[in-house]
Amino acid sequence: MDTRTYPVTRTDAEWRARLTPEQYAVMRNHGTERPGSCALLYEKRAGTFSCVGCDQPLFESKLKFESGTGWPSFNDPVPGSVENTIDRSYGMVRTECHCARCGSHLGHVFEDGPPPTGLRYCINGVALKFEPAA
């Protein structure tokens, strides 16, 4: 259980009121959405992907790529917006990524992405909202 205090905190009731049941399951209970189920997987416009939980900008569309996994994938987050922890669930070791501002679970980061970073931030689309560039 994460005991860290984040700049944005809410009670469980406040999280449940702010998020849909699917968003709550993913973002507060470290769930995973069904692959291919989020419209943001197909978003191609210029803009910014932000955290549904606290509105923090997380990823720029110019770093989004098609990974073929069924989840939105990015090379790199906005600096300082995402933090990583070790996830040992399901009998494996992975790197979980979460919002640095509210602690919400976003997805995982893997070292099988394209250049230049070689990283693939595999993000649950329900944890994101998209704001097109002006």
Q: How do the domains of the chain map onto residue ranges? A: 34-132
28-52, pLDDT tens digit by residue? Answer: 999 999 999 999 999 999 999 999 9
Show the low-confidence residues of the chain (pLDDT under 70).
1-2
Which pLDDT score, from 0 to 100, does residue 4 have?
Answer: 80
What's the maximum distance between 2 C-alpha atoms anywhere in the chain?
44
- As annotated, the active-site residues are 122
CA gap 11, 50 in Å, rounded: 21
Q: Which CATH architecture has domain 34-132?
A: Beta Complex (2.170)
- For the CA atoms of the chain, what is the radius of gyration? 14
Nearest to 101 by CA among 50, 64, 33, 66: 50
Distance in angstroms (rounded) separating the CA atoms of residues 118 and 110: 8
DSSP β-bridge partners for residue 98: 83, 105
